[in-house]
Structure 1
Amino acid sequence: MGKILLACDLDNTLIHSYKHKREGDICVEILRGAEQGFMSRRVYEQLSALPDTVELVPLTTRSVEQFERIRLPENSFDRAITTNGAILIENGVQNEKWREKHLRYAAELMPLMKKLRAELEGDPLLNVVRIVDEMYLYISCAEPEYVPDFMDKYGSITELDVMASGRKIYFLPPKINKGSALHRLAEREEFPFTAAAGDSTIDLPMLETADHAIIPAALEGLLKNQNRSVFRGDGDFAEFVTDTLSELIKK
């Protein structure tokens, strides 16, 4: 197999929150002076020693600011894609052509997103109502049990893809997704093989686009891509991701 592009989600895929910290985990994110995100030592060491035949590209729904809080192993990546595919960062610098193209997509639906933001701001059931990097609208419910009601009310807005993840709900322009970002990058670089790892429905476009998908069992019934490795254990999904990558390298 030639060079592999691994597009990888971050939260709950490569990294986990302080709530799930285990002995030996390495802190990779600090928020307001407190340890926020962690990675298992084994995964950290594996990413530190990726061969030249693999390029890791973090592909996250996080904003640029949120992504820049993360400290992945040194020299483990040169490029990352944030904001659900909208912003490409190369050696710490945003690719303006990439960003401008997605800004045009977002502009088509920005009036709707601003209308929704105005409607939702001040709702006592929400902790956050925000337009992220000028690309999509994001809300966070104060409690998980509030999510179904908001999804029932707003999930049928046909112009936007409305997706929930935990307490968070994302209102996404359809053209801004991880799948189109992966396709664009792979086509631009002519990678012969792409793998993708992700844990949520927001990752499905990326997982469908990849030559091989790495997923937890919860996504198995939702994914059409039959070229897959499925994590069914009780251990660390991130370790399953890097172990699967090692197996793909050998082929």
Structure 2
Amino acid sequence: MKLFTTDLDRTLIFSHRTIGERGDVQCVELFEGKEQSFMSHTQIKLLHELKESAHIVPVTTRSQMQYERISFFQQQLIPSYAVMANGGIVFKDGKRDAQWDSLVQQRMKDALPIRDFTTRFQTHRAHDFFLREYETEGLFYMLAVDEAALRHDDLRAFQDDLATEGWTSYLHGRKFYALPSTLTKEAAVQYVASELPHTKHIAAGDSMMDLGMMQLADVGYTPKHGEVYAHYGDACPVNVILKEGADFAEAMLAQILATKTTV
């Protein structure tokens, strides 16, 4: 069996805006009665084919509640493992993995506790380019950014201050993530990989938060539309598929299906 660990948003599922000009799509997420995320019918067919020869593990920065809104992984293809909260939560057979919870807390013990985040970084949080902030699963913060008002010098000062407390950060479009430096997708994926016998590990993602997971794998895939390709260009350390939206996902899945199962 292969192991396929994949980011979700803008890698495997897409909004109306990012999926591309496609008519053959299925809604896979509703929020407050509104359609949020989509896959193409071809993607869905290829994923069902792939599950016969691979462990498919969704890996997302979404909270548990946000992940559970994705009906495809609740009703159509139910994975044995899933990773949420940027590696902070591992689900095994539909239940939270208590062993991983314990390991996460141990790994974060040298970082500033999340309960102290708001007071320690009060000055930085008060910048006018931060519109709102959200705590995720008691593990990290996401701050919504006004890109037009963003002052990069002030943001870098915040990032430097975070680093002194054992935290790291990512600016991803209109979202600024601040999280303990040990809270990574690749750490959780390494744990899951040790639990699932496999002959080849394949990973996919579009953002810099996915890069460690892709580099951990035997093969990594990233799209033309993604942050990783925008940053590295032709020097990208993982495989780039020069397609966007659902066209990328379909091409990637077809390549994985054609991949031999030995490293």
Identity between Structure 1 and Structure 2 (%): 26
Q: What whole-Å deviation, never above 9, does each CA across 1:121-143 have from its counterpart, x for those lacking one?
A: 66553333122111112111144
Q: Which residue of 1 aligns with 2:119?
A: 115
The reply to whether residue 246 of structure 1 matches residue 229 of structure 2 is: no
Pick which of 101-110 and 174-183 moved more: 101-110
**In the aligned structure 1, how far is the partner of 2:16 from the partner of 2:136?**
24
- Structure 2, unmatched stretches of 5+, are none
- How far does residue 92 in structure 1 lie from its aligned partner after superposition? 2.0
Match of 2:85 among 83, 107, 113: 83
The residue correspondences of 1:11-90 to structure 2 (distance < 5 A) are 11-20=9-18, 22-72=22-72, 74-90=76-92
Report the 3-state secondary structure (helix = DSSP H, G, I; strand = E; otherwise coil) of the residue aligned with 1:109: coil
The reply to whether residue 10 of structure 1 matches residue 3 of structure 2 is: no
Asked if structure 1 preserves the Cα contact closer than 8 Å seen for 2:206 and 2:228, the reply is yes
Report the 3-state secondary structure (helix = DSSP H, G, I; strand = E; otherwise coil) of the residue aligned with 2:17: helix
**In the aligned structure 1, how far is the partner of 2:141 from the partner of 2:122?**
11
Q: Which residue of 1 aligns with 2:194?
A: 187
- How far does residue 176 in structure 1 lie from its aligned partner after superposition? 1.1
The reply to whether residue 94 of structure 1 matches residue 96 of structure 2 is: yes
Q: Which residue of 1 aligns with 2:157?
A: 153
**In the aligned structure 1, how far is the partner of 2:119 from the partner of 2:235?**
34
- Structure 1, unmatched stretches of 5+, are none
- How far does residue 207 in structure 1 lie from its aligned partner after superposition? 0.9
**In the aligned structure 2, how far is the partner of 1:14 from the partner of 1:234?**
11
**In the aligned structure 1, how far is the partner of 2:148 from the partner of 2:91?**
32
Asked if structure 1 preserves the Cα contact closer than 8 Å seen for 2:81 and 2:192, the reply is no
Q: How many residues align?
A: 248
Q: Which residue of 1 aligns with 2:145?
A: 141
**In the aligned structure 2, how far is the partner of 1:101 from the partner of 1:223?**
37
- How far does residue 242 in structure 1 lie from its aligned partner after superposition? 0.9
TM-score by length of 1: 0.86
Q: What whole-Å deviation, never above 9, does each CA across 1:8-32 have from its counterpart, x for those lacking one?
A: 0000000111334532211011111
Ranked by relative contact order (alpha carbons within 8 Å, sequence separation 6 or more), the top structure is 2
Report the 3-state secondary structure (helix = DSSP H, G, I; strand = E; otherwise coil) of the residue aligned with 1:153: helix
Asked if structure 2 preserves the Cα contact closer than 8 Å seen for 1:63 and 1:133, the reply is yes
TM-score by length of 2: 0.83
- How far does residue 117 in structure 1 lie from its aligned partner after superposition? 6.2
**In the aligned structure 1, how far is the partner of 2:214 from the partner of 2:198?**
16
Q: Which runs of 4+ in 1 moved over 6 A?
A: 222-225
Asked if structure 2 preserves the Cα contact closer than 8 Å seen for 1:50 and 1:76, the reply is no
**In the aligned structure 2, how far is the partner of 1:176 from the partner of 1:92?**
21
The reply to whether residue 205 of structure 1 matches residue 212 of structure 2 is: yes
- How far does residue 231 in structure 1 lie from its aligned partner after superposition? 1.0
**In the aligned structure 2, how far is the partner of 1:191 from the partner of 1:234?**
29
- How far does residue 146 in structure 1 lie from its aligned partner after superposition? 2.4
Match of 1:219 among 228, 231, 241: 228
